[in-house]
């Protein structure tokens, strides 16, 4: 299936399949919000999507969220926070880079399990 969907108003939605097989949506409006809050992610939309589908590990987040974690360069991990609403739908909430991993290591890991 096509990982991109463009609505009539021009809004683009990208879809990445999570490690649990759930399609996770990232639309333009959400991406603009993320990139404005985390300037270091400007130009990294494809990497954010790749972090969902090719996460090194997936951990339980806060408030029913899931965090996909993927190595980015030598010092950083890209963390993508998303929610799986159903087995066939989910959406990205935010994303950020971090060089610290101890706090991630304390979270329950869901993938690989």
Tens digits of per-residue pLDDT, 69-112? Answer: 999 999 999 999 999 999 999 999 999 999 998 999 999 999 99
Nearest of 44, 57, 39, 41 to residue 113 by alpha carbon: 57
What predicted TM-score, i.e. pTM, was given to this entire model? 0.91
Tens digits of per-residue pLDDT, 2-47? Answer: 456 666 666 789 999 999 999 999 999 999 999 999 999 999 999 9
| Sequence-separated (6 or more) residues with CB below 8 Å from residue 78 | 44, 47, 48, 51, 69, 70, 71, 72, 95, 96, 97
């Amino acid at each position: 299936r096509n990982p991109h969907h463009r609505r009539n108003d021009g809004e683009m939605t990208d879809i990445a399949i999570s490690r649990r097989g759930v399609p996770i949506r990232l639309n333009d409006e959400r991406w603009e919000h993320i990139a404005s809050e985390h300037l270091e992610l400007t130009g990294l939309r494809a990497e954010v999507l790749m972090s969902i589908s090719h996460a090194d590990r997936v951990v339980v987040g806060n408030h029913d969220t899931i965090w996909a974690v993927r190595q980015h360069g030598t010092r950083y991990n890209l963390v993508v926070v998303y929610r799986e609403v159903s087995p066939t739908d989910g959406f990205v909430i935010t994303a950020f880079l971090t060089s610290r991993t101890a706090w991630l290591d304390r979270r329950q890991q869901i993938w690989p399990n």
